[in-house]
Amino acid sequence: MNVDEFVKVFSERFPGAEIRVSENKMPHPKRRVWVEIDREKFHDAMKFIKELDPKAQFSIIIGIDAGDRLLAKYHMEMFWGEGESLSLVIGTSVPKDDPKLPTVTDVFPSALPYERENQEFLGLFFEGIPDPRRLFLPDDFPEGIYPLRLDETGIKPEMVKNAGHPYKIKKEGSK
């Protein structure tokens, strides 16, 4: 399935989704499909992607603090066994006062470490996640603090341990 065919099939199945196509010109020209879909339809869209290509390769989730919303961008490659692969980024967003998405580990099991990472660093929670334990932060790291948040729940400067880092954060009044 090529990019244009994918866009047609996906937009027919999910008419409310925003879809655009971009082209990376270097080093080799490649088109990428970008999809934005409502949280309520997100899990169904991920299942549909897997139905279209049972060998679809999940790569990573990029989580972003976008002010009053948290964004989740899922990167994957599709149809890689059929010649040139299709690069897909499918995204959704949630309000910060209800930062929940359904897990997609039932569709893409390899999403688990990325969902765990986004839970602990961004406070984006995945309902039904099979293993919600922390992945990177220590067990004694304060609950409710998310290092990648840009709001009051983000990491505070006094929490940074520089360990002799040359860009040490200086407290007011110190030299």
Confidence of residue 119 (pLDDT cuts 50, 70, 90): very high
- SS3 letters for the chain? CCHHHHHHHHHHHCCCCEEEEEEECCCCCEEEEEEECCHHHHHHHHHHHHHHCCCCEEEEEEEEECCCEEEEEEEEEECHHHCCCEEEEEEEEEECCCCEEECCCCCCHHHHHHHHHHHHHHCCEEECCCCCCCCCCCCCCCCCCCCCCCCCCCCCHHHCCCCCCCCCCCCCCCC
Q: Name 64's bridge partners.
A: 71
Taking all residues of the chain, what is their mean pLDDT, rounded to a whole number?
Answer: 89
- Is 85 exposed, middle or buried, given 0-12, 13-18 or 19+ CB atoms closer than 10 A? middle
Confidence of residue 151 (pLDDT cuts 50, 70, 90): very high
pTM: 0.86
* pLDDT score for 1: 87
* pLDDT score for 30: 78
104, 46 in Cβ contact below 8 A? yes
CA atoms within 13 A on the CB side of 27: 0
State yes or no: pLDDT of 162 exceeds 70: no
Rounded Cα distance between 22 and 147, Å, is: 31
State yes or no: pLDDT of 2 exceeds 90: no
Residues in the chain: 175
State yes or no: pLDDT of 25 exceeds 80: no
User: What is the average pLDDT across 47-69?
Assistant: 96
In the CATH scheme, what is the homologous superfamily, with its name and number, of domain 3-159? Answer: NADH:ubiquinone oxidoreductase Nqo5 subunit (3.30.460.80)
Rounded Cα distance between 165 and 175, Å, is: 16
State yes or no: pLDDT of 90 exceeds 70: yes
Rounded Cα distance between 86 and 145, Å, is: 37
